[in-house]
A and B are shown apart, each in its own frame.
Chain A
Amino acid sequence: MMNPVEIHKKLRELLELAEYVRDIKGEDFEGIEELYREIHRTYHNFYELPPEDIDNLSREWEFKLKNILEIAEKTLTPYEIVKIVRHPQRFTLMDILENVYDSFMELGGEGELNIDPAIVCAKALISRRVGDEVYFHQVMVIGHEKGHGEEYRRGGSATPWGNEKALRYMRMAETEGIPIHFFIFTPGAYPIEDYPGAAQQIARNLYYMSKLSVPTISFISEGGSGGAEAIGLTDLRLMAEKGYYSVISPEGAAAIEAKLKDERPPRELVEKMAKALKLTARDNLELGTIDRIIPEPPLGARRKDYEFFKRLKIELIKATDEVVLQTRSLKVLRKYALSKHSEEGFPFYINWELSEDEKEVLLENRRKKYREMTRWAVLESKGIWKSLSEKGVRITQNLAYEVKYQIFKRGQKTFKRFWDELWSESSILLKPVSDPVKSVYNLIVGKKVKPKVRILADLEEDTFTYQSPLALQDRTVTCPQAEKYGCPDLWVPDLYGEFCGVCPSCGYHFPLEYYWYLNNIFDKNSIKFFNEDLSSCNPLNFEGYAEKLKKAREETGLNSALLSFEAKIGGISLIAVMLVADFRQGTVGVAEGEKFIRAIELAMVSRRPFLALVHTTGGIRIHEGTTGVVQMPRCTMAVREYVDSGGLYIVVYDNNSYAGPVASFLGSAPYQFALKSTRLGFAGPRVILETTGQPVPPDYHSVENALKRGHIQGIWDRRELRKKLFFALLTMGGPNLYYR
């Protein structure tokens, strides 16, 4: 028989467990509500009852609860997993720091006194036993802290400056050459746009993480879309067995599916969505968006599950070892994999520091990993011969570009530099001699000075005959800003014709169809589409999605929301992609991501500038779940590769550009411009209101504010788009463009 203190403690644990089970499985589950009330009553009358009775009762309850827990685990649904993850009793990052690591010191603030309490960064030590020896590894721990109900933690939603804090300590770890362990416990990023900008900072993090030269491991317990990706692009992705990783919360998906505005979606629909979104660890492993599952006890680990923490510690060390060993020889890795890891120790000590060569291998491995991720989910209709011949073409093309630019162009460039130097030197000496000769010569021949710089006048040569279908009506429209600026009504054929959809008196931009851009900013007949047949294959078997895709295909004649094409502006050849509103609001799924990557890869090998036009993007397509979400790191990785190779990547936004794509491969572009009409940001006004409880002013997502936040480099007028782009092509970008 235990002493009363121990009995009281045990009773308390039982009460918490009963409460937990009730919360997860619902009051009607296996009589849990009665059991909970019984324990609760006893717990409150603890000192009035004889200890023996309580001891006996608690044994009985313990047994009952164990049984209930077993049934609960067997009947666990995806939505219940979501509830587990959100439960205040679930372990948090602070619990991990205290139980998995041997010691740690928080950086950038502790508790409430913090840059952002939702993001915890810590320098930590993790120990490894090899035989009788104990080794310590230094690691940087970065992750979200949900807290156990403290309001200031904001449930683990990182602010823009919180993500900036994370990036700062990533850089520090890189400088010091130590691995980083990321812990993802977030329902999503906190949707406010303040400096440095929600979307912008996530994009910046992804861009930086794609080439972080230290081993990176992430562990996902609650992976809420873009917020998760902000610290999620890593070499190895672990996931808690009872964690979820999803493009959107099941409630959010249900609201969208049911097209609800303010009321709560019905519970059945939410549960259905939780299933359809394929958000569990097992689903994600199957989809290939994570690498490994960390097992948990029935109904998930809670903050005192020390067994779980022990396990987690081993898994983290193993994962880091693996990443490090992959940069070394395969033989060592194989040997390591075959060896038995006991609970107590490891067979080897492995140094986590990487040499310069190993860093290169690390980055190459990371690149390959993300390049392959979700590639299976793309549909490409082609026979075996076609695919073989296309591959052949691609290889010869790459080889040709390689020879052209690496061998010839390089030689030519060196010679030109030498020649220029020689010429500028000698012309100073020659000028007094040559000038009189020159003027005589000019007098005889008739001087024809050819300007060395390209001139924009060439651009105006083409007269475009494209007629927007919007322009074919004899009616007038009122400019929405007429009340403010007194604009006269606009005759539709003028507005959608010559005015490029811009009110000439106040500059208000009306939306235009995407063909307008195709027909008006590129040289006539220069557009050549490629990868047109690439389309999504409904990777989650999401109910109704196949029909929606089919409908979109029929309505638009496109196979995906992203057009990729070769085109010319003022004779300069470039690769461009365009997200179009017509196809499912320009949302991004696997096919769009894959097309984007292929396009930017083509731009890289052919040394052409790369332009991304955003007609509209509504974010990551929810029907493709995390396979859609991982397009964020995938595409950003490709962007980084391209930019580092010395190309020119320009993004031009118009209309509405929100969420995932802006927070990754668009937002990471060195040059981003927006047309005046653009609304640009991370989350729309409604989401902000729901999450923060604060309504935002109407101009919150305006280009002016995006500019102030440093998101874009400039505001462009649609009427000047072609000219501006041409100038950008001439003056911006790295040294490896084909025309440099």
Chain B
Amino acid sequence: MREKILIANRGEIALRIMEACELLELDYVAVYTKEDEESLHVRRAKKKYRISDYRDMNDLLAVADEEKCIAIHPGYGFLSENYRFARRVIKRERPLIWIGPSWEAIRDLGNKLYMKKVAKELGIPIIPGTVDPLYNEIEAELKAEELLEEAEAQGFESISFLVKAVAGGGGMGIEEVKNLEEIRPVFRRVRAYAKRLFGEEGIIIEIKIPVFQHLEVQILGTKDGEYVHFGTRNCTIQSPFRQKRIELAPGFCERFQFNFDPKAVESAIINYSLKLAQHFNYDSVGTFEWLITPDGKYYLMEVNTRIQVENEISAKISFINGKQVNLLREQIRVALGDKLGYSQEDIEFRGMSLEFRLIAEDTRRGFMPLSGTITKFQFPDYPWLTVRTHVPQDRPYVIPTQFDPNLALAIIYAEDLENLLERSRRFLDEAIIEGITPKGDPLITNIPYLKEKLALIYQFI
């Protein structure tokens, strides 16, 4: 009997996991909720269970036990970075394999403060700021003063601070402070907010980096301590709420001018990422996010202990002994105990890749995700284009409102920048997403926005 994997996620990532399972000749079980009945991931799976919520650990484990699964793939979002679930999965009486890093790594790297502290100890550059949570305003002011001096010494100009809740994230519990006098009131406000919302009142203060590029390093580790990387990605183009919209691989393009040596910076952030991963015995795919300043300074921001949405653009440009890689397949293989079977020298990077996130959102009115029904959903068919979507093309589809608003990912490959840009534009021109909102208005998508932003790639924003 073939071994079985529980896919504890939905949408396009569930589809990609299914594909990876098929490549590895593994069986799988899918789960879905009432709202997702029309999703393609439900249609494709032979074995599937309806559950109450993708976050319901009890339901998921019950399905895994019923189907005698040996492992759980959490995908991204939902429970993927919940170390408690990861821990429960492996510690229960009928343990399962967690397709992801160890729960300790999820916990320690997911705790931004702890991660920063360790990184600092390892000599990895982090954004200047406090590494211990602050609890009172006098201390906060002292620290801010200290930071200011430190940052001035490092050559920063017109410095402002970010007062962040330790427990916050995704733009919540964070405020900018332009001058020192405001630290106390803002500190108190954010602390009260954090206490109310997250039940945790720890606060950190960081220097705000005004202009930067967002780079990330894709790594892969195994239980045997083998480590490789799959280069870098550039995710600078984001919505105002820090949600990625266009991603590119590799992270730097030599066709653009920099005030520093991009090759040196890239190899530095890759090496630091691997160093931190090794420190935590990281044994899965993972992404290390970095901020790069226009003068070539780089700071570690956070670590994503899961497969990323944009993993495939790295896969597109990475060739192992001439063959294209599938990172989901590698992730599952490694989790099940396989050795890599290749080393960094066997990986060659070739060409460029770009990913668009197609979303029904009103980019001119605060990026509000829209609900409604998609009536027409069409993409051109090219060898250089991969579209990842769970939206059916043969019947109308009601966009569920409670999930991630991504409708489709368009992954474009080209050998060089000119071709990449040309193909990207062509794709955006030819893609058709039509639909109506519940009010009867035509559905708006972010395609015009993506067209406009395409001009800003590889720029400091």
- Chain A residues near B (Cβ < 8 Å): 442, 447, 449, 451-453, 455-457, 460, 474, 476, 488-489, 491, 493-494, 498, 717, 719
> In the complex where A447-B146, A447-B149 touch, is A455 in contact with B88 (Cβ < 8 A)?
no
A437 to B160, CA, bound (A): 26
A474 to B92, CA, bound (A): 6
7 CB < 8 A contacts A-B: A451-B143, A455-B139, A456-B135, A457-B132, A491-B88, A493-B88, A719-B199
- The 7 A-B pairs of least Cβ separation, nearest first, read A457-B132, A474-B93, A456-B135, A474-B92, A451-B139, A489-B58, A449-B142
**Is the beta-carbon distance between B136 and A455 smaller than 8 angstroms?**
yes
Most A C-beta atoms less than 10 A away, residue of B55, B92, B138, B139: B139
Q: Does B429 contact A (CB under 8 A)?
A: no
> Is B120 interfacial (CB 8 A cutoff)?
no
Interface presence of B415 (CB below 8 A):
no
Is B45's beta carbon under 8 Å from chain A?
A: no
B56, CB-defined interface residue at 8 Å: yes
Known pairs A457-B135, A491-B58 / 20 extra A-B pairs, C-beta < 8 Å = A449-B142, A449-B143, A451-B142, A453-B138, A455-B132, A455-B135, A455-B139, A456-B135, A457-B133, A460-B133, A474-B91, A488-B55, A488-B56, A488-B58, A491-B57, A491-B84, A493-B88, A493-B91, A494-B84, A498-B84
Interface size class of B (residues with CB under 8 A): 20 to 34
A-B contact number at CB 8 A: 49
How distant is B187 from chain A, measured CB to nearest CB, in Å? 14
Contact of B430 with A by CB under 8 A = no
Which residues of chain B (119-168) have a CB below 8 Å from chain A?
132-136, 138-139, 142-143, 145-146, 149
Q: Which residues of A contact B146 (CB under 8 A)?
A: 447, 449
A679 to B55, CA, bound (A): 33
Residues from chain A with Cβ under 8 Å of B88 in the complex: 491, 493-494
Among B55, B136, B145, B149, point to the contact of A453 (Cβ < 8 A).
B136
Query: Closest Cβ of chain B: how far from A473's Cβ, in Å?
Result: 9
Q: In the assembled complex, how far is the CB of residue A465 from the closest CB belonging to chain B, in whole angstroms?
A: 14
Q: A210 vs B88: C-alpha distance in the bound complex, in angstroms? A: 55
A474 to B96, CA, bound (A): 13
Would B145 and A449 count as touching, CB distance under 8 A? yes
CA A719 – CA B195 in complex, angstroms?
Answer: 13
CA distance A447 to B148 in the complex (A): 12
Distance in Å: Cβ of A342 to nearest Cβ of chain B: 73
Q: Which residue of B lies closest to A504 (CB)?
A: B199
User: What's the Cα separation between A476 and B93 when bound, in Å?
Assistant: 13
Give bound CA distance, A183 to B57, whole Å. Answer: 64
Q: Which residues of B contact A451 (CB under 8 A)?
A: 138-139, 142-143
Residues of A within 8 A of B145 (CB): 449
A207 to B296, CA, bound (A): 69
Chain B residues near A719 (CB-CB < 8 A): 199
Q: How far is the CA of A488 from the CA of B57 in the complex (A)?
A: 9
- Name the residue of chain A whose CB is nearest to the CB of B55: A488
For the complex, what is the distance from the CA of A211 to the CA of B351, rounded to whole Å?
Answer: 88
- B383-423 at interface with A (beta carbon < 8 Å): none
A278 to chain B, nearest CB (A): 51
A452: chain B residues within 8 A (beta carbon): 138
**Contact present for A453 and B93 (CB under 8 Å):** no
CB distance from B155 to the nearest CB of A (A): 15
Q: Shortest beta-carbon distance, B294 to chain A, in Å? A: 27
What's the Cα separation between A452 and B55 when bound, in Å? 45
Given contacts A453-B136, A457-B133, contact A476 B91 (CB under 8 A): no
Residues 40 to 92 of chain B near chain A (Cβ within 8 Å): 53, 55-58, 84, 87-88, 91-92
**B residues in contact with A498, CB < 8 Å:** 84
Q: How far is the CA of A451 from the CA of B137 in the complex (A)?
A: 11
A488 to chain B, nearest CB (A): 6
Interface residues of B in 232-255 (CB under 8 A from A): none
A240 to B: closest C-beta gap in Å: 57
Contacts of B149 in A (CB 8 A): 442, 447
Instruction: State the CA gap A460–B146 with chains docked (Å).
Output: 23
Give chain A residues whose Cβ lies under 8 Å from the Cβ of B134: 455, 457
Q: Which of A442, A453, A488 contacts B139 (CB 8 A)?
A: A453
Q: In the complex the two chains form, what is the Cα distance from A566 to B53 in whole Å?
A: 48
Residues of A close to B132: CB separation below 8 A: 455, 457
- Give, as a whole number of angstroms, the nearest-CB distance from A537 to chain B: 48
* Identity of the chain A residue whose Cβ is nearest the Cβ of B140 in the assembled complex: A451
Scan residues 164-215 of chain B and give those whose CB is less than 8 A from a CB of chain A: 199
A418 → chain B closest CB, angstroms: 24
Q: Complex Cα distance A397/B452, Å? A: 80
- Which chain B residue shows the least CB distance to A460? B133
Residues of chain B contacted by A442 (CB below 8 angstroms): 149
Residue of B nearest to A499 (CB): B84
What is the CB-to-nearest-CB distance from A438 to chain B, in angstroms, rounded to a whole number?
12
Contacts of B84 in A (CB 8 A): 491, 494, 498
